[in-house]
Structures are given as structure tokens and as C-alpha cells.
Structure 1
């Protein structure tokens, strides 16, 4: 058995899509991120529409009701709705953590992997938040630095754009690849080392997600297939590690 590499990561992602599409019993779970995003965006948008116009009129004082006040009110409300939509999309993943982890368990069950102890909804949400915070804490500053380089040195885009894709790919590979590792109870330090030992596989998996993420709002739709693919890739890596006489615990040391 060959060591899982870049191609294995790409195959795992496509396998995740195949699993979702060919298993109607997981479709309700796969719809959860979309439903959560819609509910969160609607609630936040309603709050923005209810709060922002009144605040603008209050700030404009005697100018309220005029053309300038109306323009500012429309602009501020539109901006707040955009922020509400972005927050709704961001909240969709952690709040859908329990459903996504159940998809992971279904995939592993289908592949014949060992069953892991059940976890609570609170634990699932907290683990999902933790998985998101760690890569973004390191990845976002790198992406911001590349953006600044682009801003001041536009020709550098031939170098910075591929670097952005690589950084984004690794962020997403960690973000979704952490689901199957976290339900195993692997400490976070060992999860980092485990993924670092298989950079080509993680890059192949994450690059597919990064390319799909170039389409606005599409990432929420591909989340279920992404975690299904991450589960497939983790099981494949575990089985390769077993041929080397190592378990996940030893591989992460």
C-alpha cells in the first residue's frame, strides 16, 4: 500500500461528494449547514433592519429625513445586511458540528473503521469552534500579509496568488480534517503533528476545497462532502500507518 499523497487527498474529496450523493439517509444531515446558515442570516438580518435605520436617524439628528440621511440609512442598512450574511455563513459550520460529526461516523462505519464513543452536542459544537479558531489564528495573518504585498506590489500576484491558494488549502484541510481526529479524542497537539506528517495528502484535499470556495457561499454547500472526504482520507492514512506498524497515536508523536 502506497503512502497517501496529493492524489489521495483529491480522491478523498471526490469520494466525499460520492458518499453524500449516493446515500439518501445522510441528506437530512447534509442539509443542516444550509438551514443553519439561512436561519442565522435571517435572524441577524432582521436585527440589522430593525436596529440600524433608527440608529442612523438618531445620529443624523436634525438632518434626519433628508436626502443625505436617506442615502446614509440605505448604505448603512445594506452594509449591515452584508455583515449579517457573512456572520450567518461563518456560524453555520460550528453550529452544524453535531450533524457534520455524525456524517463522519456514517462514513467510517461504511468503511469498516472502529466506532468511537458518542459525544454530546455541546462537545461537538465546542470542538468545531476550536478546529476553526486554530488555523485561522495563523492563516489569516499570512493571507493579510500577502494581500498587503499585492496592494503595494501588484506584479507580485504571480507569486502571491499561488501562495494564497496553498495557505487557504491547508487552512481548510485542517478545518475539516480535524473532525475525524477530534471524535477519536486525539489531543490537539498530536492532531497538528499528524497532519504535518502528511502534507501532500492534506494539500490535495484542501486545494480542491479552496477552488470550490472561490465561488461565493458555495463552501456551506460542500461542507458535508468535505467532512465525508476528510473521514475517508483519515481512515486511508490510518491504514497506511498500520502497515508501517504504527497507530494514529504513534503517528502523531
Structure 2
């Protein structure tokens, strides 16, 4: 973690009066992108982990898309004797559900994998955001290998919790028409919530909050979490957008975490 810089006179950004809930989350999303534009030092380095993850996920999703018809045929052997029209319609729906589930899984795990790969870069960025507006909470004093191990364990826990939503959404996507409309909408909401929880992990970990406490905090401020994460989840669907938005997303989530859970004031000298 970099040493704290002198505290400037300007306070940390906070939502204007009247901006609450979803609007407050959106405010911090914009402030994070604005912060990295105004502080470009280190931005390029923070792109490298996202580029690596993007390349891996793109290859995996392309394989899934090209193999979706085979997967659909594999899980619907009972339809082999159906009329060709009904059999084709069913397998198109199942194939779309597989691709949709793959996209949802990618949205739910992209941030966790990127943050794990780029942990030192993003932790430094988050600490610099905090240092620009006040003292940086010391956080637990642990070696890097232990920090990475804890990050991996907490990411797996987040993934497990997200999977509890992703599996029902996959089956919802198999319902013709209504399911194919509802599943993507609910999927984006779930992805947005967990994106916010993942991205705010640096600032909240420095405040001593373990992963379960961080999720409870996000649930208590669900509207803010969704207001921050849903636009990001939608933008992450644009190729390469996740790569270029990730540093600003970490900065914005840090500002959001400061607002939701201010650090205690340092003791007087």
C-alpha cells in the first residue's frame, strides 16, 4: 500500500441533496471514472489484468457460442424423435439459454478474476483514491501471499453466492418468451449487485469488514449497490468496455465504500 499523501482541503465527493438510492450509486459510478481521468498516473498498468481476463473470457465465450447447438442436443436427447420444427425450436431456446448463462457467469466472475490477477495494482489504486481525501485506514498487516489467498477464498465465496441466483435464472431462461425477457433483466441486476460488492472489497477490507459483512452492508444499501453496479454490468457487455472501465470502477467503488462506511478518525496526537 502506498504511503498516505497529505490530506487536501477538498472533501470527498458525496451525492448532491436529493440524490439517494439508485441515483447515489450512479453518482459514485461517474465520480470513479472522473477520478481516473483526472489522475492518469498508473492507469495503463491497471488495464493489464483486465486485458488478460478479457482475452481468456472472450475465447471461452466464443467456444460456448459455437458449441451451443451441440450442448442443446446433448441435454435434450428426448427430443430426437420429435417433429423437426418443434425439435429445432426447443434446441434454439436451450442454446440461447446456454449462451445467456455463459454471459451471466462471465459478468459475475469477470471482476473477481480480474481483481485477483491485478490485486496489487487495484489495491494501490484504491488506496490512492482514499489518500486523496483523507487518511487511509491501515487495514490488516499481512504478507502479499496471504492477501492473495484470502482474496481468492472470498472471491470463491462471492461466486458461490452469485451461483445461487444464476442457476434459477438459467432455468427461468428456458421458459419461452417470458423467461427469455425476465432472465436477462434479473441477471443484470444480480451481476450489478455482486460487481459492486467485489469492487468495494479493497476499501471495505481496509475497514476490517470480512466478506459476509460486506455483503450485509450491500444488502442494507441495495439501491445504491444496484445504482452503481447495474450500469457497469450493462457497459461490461460491450466488447473491451470492461477493460477500460475497470480502474474507474475500482475508484468509484472506493468512494462509495467511504460514503457507506467512513473510516474512524485517527486518534489525536
TM-score class normalised by the smaller sequence = 0.5 to 0.7
Q: Residues 20 and 26 of structure 1 are in contact (CA less than 8 Å); yes or no, is this contact kept in structure 2? A: no
* Aligned 8 A contact 1:98 1:124 in 2: no
Q: Aligned partners of 1:217, 1:120: CA distance in 2, in Å?
A: 33
By how many angstroms is 1:175 displaced? 1.4
- Indicate whether 1:168 and 2:197 are aligned: no
The structure whose residues are more often helix, as a share, is: 1
Tell me the residue number matched to 1:94. Answer: 116
- Over aligned residues, Cα RMSD in angstroms? 3.2
CA–CA separation in structure 1 for the residues paired with 2:111 and 2:23: 29
User: Cα distance 1:91–1:210, how it changes in 2: closer, same or farther (>3 A)?
Assistant: closer
Residues 111 and 198 in structure 2, CA contact (< 8 A), matched pair in contact too: no
**Equivalent residue number for residue 184 of structure 1:** 207
1:126 matched to which residue of 2?
A: 149
- The 5 Å alignment of 1:15-164 reads 15-34=31-50, 36-37=52-53, 91-117=113-139, 119-164=142-187
Residues 29 and 100 in structure 1, CA contact (< 8 A), matched pair in contact too: no
Distance 2:51 2:174 in 1: 37
> Residue 21 of structure 2 aligns with which residue?
5
TM superposition score normalised by structure 2: 0.63
- Separation (CA, whole Å) in 2 of partners of 1:10 and 1:218: 17
| SS of structure 2 residue aligned to 1:112 | coil
Higher alpha-carbon deviation: 207-216 or 146-155: 146-155
Unaligned runs of at least 5 residues, structure 1: 46-85, 249-253
* Stretches of 4+ aligned residues off by more than 3 angstroms: 1-4, 34-38, 86-92, 117-120
Q: Residues 6, 130 of structure 1: CA spacing in aligned structure 2 closer, same or farther, 3 A cutoff? A: farther
The question of whether the paired residues in 2 share the 8 Å contact of 1:146 and 1:160 is answered with yes
CA contact (8 A) 1:16 1:226 kept: yes
Structure 2 distance, partners of 1:88, 1:203, is 17
Going from structure 1 to structure 2, the CA distance change for 1:88 and 1:124 (only over 3 Å counts) comes to: same
Summarize deviations over 1:22-80 as a string: whole Å, max 9, x none.
11223244234246548x85xx99xxxxxxxxxxxxxxxxxxxxxxxxxxxxxxxxxxx
Change (3 A) 1:88 1:195: closer
Bigger CA drift: 152-161 or 91-100? Answer: 152-161
CA shift for structure 1 position 169: 0.9
1:163-200 Cα offsets, whole Å, 9 max, x none, are 11111111111111222111222233322222221111
CA distance in 2 between partners of 1:228 and 1:163 (Å): 26
3-state SS, counterpart of residue 116 of structure 2: helix
Count of residue correspondences: 199
Mark the runs of 5 or more structure 2 residues left unpaired by the alignment.
1-16, 61-105
Alpha-carbon distance in structure 1 between the residues aligned to 2:112 and 2:130: 26
CA contact (8 A) 1:113 1:235 kept: no
